[in-house]
Chains A and B, each alone.
Chain A
Amino acid sequence: MAPEPITFLGRVKRDRASGVVTPVAEAARRMSSYRVAASNDFPLMEQMRDRAREIRLHTLANLDRYLAQFASQVEANGGHVHWAADGDEANAIITEIAQANEVKSVVKSKSMVTEEIELNEALEQVGISVVESDLGEFIVQLSNDKPSHIIAPVLHKTRYDIGELFADKLDAPYTTDPSQLTEIARSHLRREFLTADMGISGCNMGIADSGTVVLVTNEGNGRLTTTAPRIHVTVMGMERIVPSFADASAVLEVLARAGTGQRLSVYTNLVSGPRRHGDPDGPDAFHVVILDNGRSRTLSGSEAEILACIRCGACLNICPVYREVGGHAYGFTYPGPIGAVVTPALKGLDEWHELPYASTLCGACVEACPVRIDIPKMLLTLRSKAVDDGHLPGWLTFAVGRYASAATHPRQFRVLLKAGGVVGSMMAKDGWITKAPSHGANWTGARDLPQPAKTPFHARWKQRHGS
């Protein structure tokens, strides 16, 4: 495999050339239309969005209190709570639970947070087999790929890609029929579910007053992961808390509508601890690993509101940039507008200062977001921080410096304008500049530049009015 390009534009070029972004725009457009249809169909949608937003913000403002309550309730239910400052700590905790219980095989239901901390790699390193059970994540795992959408991980793959993959890796007869492909995965994964020692899930929400983990899936893999294996481990980003079941209901009312256009996802699974005395089935042990990994730093500053995100994917689907570049260009677990804020917020601007620019600031994401997070505002703040931190390319610093000087010195400004007109006219053909030199190519590589007027406006004004 070629090394991962380190710049956003490098990744965009790679993915546009390889064609993986081709299916993305159409799929994203369709998901957006499902969201709009489901919202129009629900008379309480706008009020419910306001309520869900109030709940998320109220919880964030009181997060320490609700986390403490949640942890105590999980323990009262017979579960174990672990606190992880970062991904390494979380991985070490989970590996330890696995090794202490002689776990050989793990089955996982879809979870972004375990992608974030690269849990699979950590478990495989100590010889534990890990199988992803969400159909999309299973395909991602088989093809050694990365998810490109937070709720539809293989948006970027065609049925032909998947047919070849299953024929190659699973010895299945080649087919391109999605139903047959699904059937192949179902029968393959069934054995894994029913024989795995440990199930690992993410967490859509943690309910503080009952110590309950809420898992939303359509396939049923979330339920199987939390029912069949003898140990269930939930990895939870620390911000995923809501105060009560009643609060959770308001978030659930908007989550599926915004994500897939369903009224509710097929399975809303509420797990409150291990199986109780007399329960015929369910796990014997239940662990929750609560993860910080940059979240408390995010909460302490100007991007705190991004932690209200409920991970529905609506902002990806509506984003004109995401539709053009696909999910991998964002370079980390969380793509799209949410990723452009979350990644630099969690991991720092040093490595991720480009991402806040992966947006036109058009505001479509705010309109789509079920909890109305003001993503463009945070992108602007992050851009400004990136500049303060010195993360502006040298040529741009120079250019902006020149502009600042020219804009405050009228004579210099006029000279530059005139020079621009002359140089521009030399480069233009039929009124358009199609190929600019040096950094100008960043512009003309994607679109033409109109030829500047030979005589600047200033000069023409002077000719006509004499002053």
Chain B
Amino acid sequence: MDRKGFLDRVRQATATADLPPVRQDPPGALIGDLSTADLVGRFVERATEVNADVRVVTADGALEQVVGIMEEYKADEYLGWPDSQMPIPGIGAGLIARGYSPRPSEVPSDNRLLHQTAYYDLVVGITGADGGLAESGSIVLTHGQNRSRMASLIPDAHIALLAASTIVESLSHWAALKSESVTRSANLVVITGPSRTGDIEMHLTQGVHGPRHVHILVLDDR
């Protein structure tokens, strides 16, 4: 069907639709009182509740934490975002200096399959986050140049670096304050804990397709 024919049919339908009275303007986000005095504390509490591992770090201590996690997974390479995209400086450079190697994140259009099947054995991905949502313990990632989507999706473990100053109260707050984050990039994802399923007898299992483990390092920059 063509666009005009389709939309004409919809227009005619709305004319006779039996709907309760509706508001004239789009209602938008609801920003209510969530009484979150301590945003970082609430974020840590809620992210921990959904089985993320959350650590509040200083700029100097962050690298040691990342190295510790790399050792935990016996990983010597990772897929990640470059330092220019990270809210905590010097992590990539520090890892390389210690002998860890970043995997190329560019998936060429003409050689997609070969590049992607090389991701099979990937264990660790390291990304930044644009912000955090205290109420749900979520992190928000926008993707784009130098910001691999796969890094937070394919590996067994995802390490996310987040600046405490970018944590807002809830998704509604984020959507009201940062609506441009959707248009700025082709992909935005809100991540709330590790991948999970309850499909088999409602038994909670972590790590179906996405990462089994999520580690969030919160830089205390307040």
List residues of chain A with CB under 8 Å of any chain B CB: 23, 27, 30-31, 43-44, 47-48, 51, 54-55, 57-64, 67-68, 71, 77, 81, 83-85, 89, 133-136, 139, 152-154, 157-159, 162, 178-179, 181-182, 185-186, 189-191, 193-195, 207, 210, 212, 218-221, 223-224, 226-228, 230, 238, 243-250, 252-253, 260, 262-276, 278-282, 284, 290, 292, 296-297, 299-305
Query: A271 — which chain B residues lie within 8 A by C-beta?
Result: 186-187
Contact B198 A282 (CB under 8 A): no
B90 nearest CB across to chain A (Å)? 21
Select one of A83, A159, A244 contacting B1, CB under 8 A: A83
Contact A224 B153 (CB under 8 A): yes
Is there a chain A Cβ closer than 8 Å to B46's Cβ? yes
Select one of A212, A250, A275 contacting B27, CB under 8 A: A250
Contact B13 A266 (CB under 8 A): no
User: Ordered nearest first, which 6 A-B pairs have the shortest CB separation?
Assistant: A220-B210, A249-B175, A243-B26, A300-B13, A219-B208, A178-B203
Query: B196 — which chain A residues lie within 8 A by C-beta?
Result: 218-219, 266
Given contacts A253-B172, A263-B46, contact A61 B6 (CB under 8 A): no
Contact B189 A270 (CB under 8 A): yes
Query: B146 — which chain A residues lie within 8 A by C-beta?
Result: 278, 280
Is there a chain A Cβ closer than 8 Å to B75's Cβ? no
B residues 1-60 in Cβ contact with A at 8 Å: 1-3, 5-20, 22-30, 32-35, 46, 50
- Residue contacts A-B, CB under 8 angstroms, 14 given: A23-B201, A58-B27, A64-B11, A67-B10, A178-B205, A179-B205, A220-B153, A227-B150, A244-B26, A246-B29, A253-B171, A267-B190, A271-B186, A300-B13
Tell me the bound Cα distance from A64 to B107 in angstroms: 38
Q: Mark B176-199, 1 if CB is under 8 A from A, else 0.
A: 100100110111111111111111
Tell me the bound Cα distance from A224 to B155 in angstroms: 12
Is there a chain A Cβ closer than 8 Å to B100's Cβ? no
Tell me the bound Cα distance from A62 to B27 in angstroms: 13
Contact A89 B195 (CB under 8 A): no
Given contacts A292-B6, A296-B10, contact A263 B16 (CB under 8 A): no
| Stretch of B61-69, B111-119, B159-167 that contacts chain A | B111-119
Contact A63 B10 (CB under 8 A): yes
Residue of B nearest to A229 (CB): B112
Query: A194 — which chain B residues lie within 8 A by C-beta?
Result: 113, 116-117, 119-120
Tell me the bound Cα distance from A302 to B18 in angstroms: 5
Tell me the bound Cα distance from A253 to B172 in angstroms: 8
Query: B213 — which chain A residues lie within 8 A by C-beta?
Result: none
Is there a chain A Cβ closer than 8 Å to B106's Cβ? yes
A212-B182, A245-B182, A250-B29 are known; give 18 further A-B pairs, CB within 8 A: A31-B202, A68-B3, A85-B1, A154-B199, A219-B197, A226-B187, A230-B109, A238-B10, A246-B28, A248-B175, A250-B172, A269-B187, A270-B189, A276-B185, A279-B186, A304-B17, A305-B18, A305-B19
Contact A264 B138 (CB under 8 A): yes
Tell me the bound Cα distance from A248 to B210 in angstroms: 24
Contact B195 A266 (CB under 8 A): yes
Listed residue (A85, A228, A245) with the most chain B CB atoms within 10 angstroms of its CB:
A245
A266 nearest CB across to chain B (Å)? 5
B89 nearest CB across to chain A (Å)? 21
Contact A299 B14 (CB under 8 A): yes
Query: B191 — which chain A residues lie within 8 A by C-beta?
Result: 266-267
Contact A89 B171 (CB under 8 A): no
Tell me the bound Cα distance from A303 to B112 in angstroms: 46
B residues 57-94 in Cβ contact with A at 8 Å: none
- B side interface size, CB within 8 A: 92
Tell me the bound Cα distance from A250 to B136 in angstroms: 14
Contact B194 A272 (CB under 8 A): no
Contact A266 B107 (CB under 8 A): no
B105 nearest CB across to chain A (Å)? 4
Given contacts A247-B27, A266-B196, A268-B189, contact A57 B14 (CB under 8 A): no
Contact A272 B186 (CB under 8 A): yes
Contact A152 B199 (CB under 8 A): yes
Given contacts A266-B192, A270-B189, contact A220 B113 (CB under 8 A): no
Tell me the bound Cα distance from A179 to B199 in angstroms: 11
Residue of A nearest to B28 (CB): A246
Contact B109 A284 (CB under 8 A): yes
Contact B186 A77 (CB under 8 A): yes
Contact A264 B17 (CB under 8 A): no
B221 nearest CB across to chain A (Å)? 25
Given contacts A135-B208, A270-B182, A271-B187, contact A249 B147 (CB under 8 A): no
Contact B201 A247 (CB under 8 A): no
B22 nearest CB across to chain A (Å)? 5
Select one of A262, A264, A280 contacting B106, CB under 8 A: A280
Contact B200 A282 (CB under 8 A): no
Residue of B nearest to A85 (CB): B1
Tell me the bound Cα distance from A136 to B209 in angstroms: 13
Select one of B30, B35, B179, B201 contacting A244, CB under 8 A: B179
Contact A274 B14 (CB under 8 A): no
Contact A58 B23 (CB under 8 A): yes
A60 nearest CB across to chain B (Å)? 6
A325 nearest CB across to chain B (Å)? 19
Contact B28 A83 (CB under 8 A): no
Tell me the bound Cα distance from A262 to B49 in angstroms: 11
B residues 122-172 in Cβ contact with A at 8 Å: 133, 135-138, 143-150, 153, 170-172
Tell me the bound Cα distance from A157 to B209 in angstroms: 21
Given contacts A84-B1, A194-B113, contact A162 B200 (CB under 8 A): yes
Is there a chain A Cβ closer than 8 Å to B207's Cβ? yes
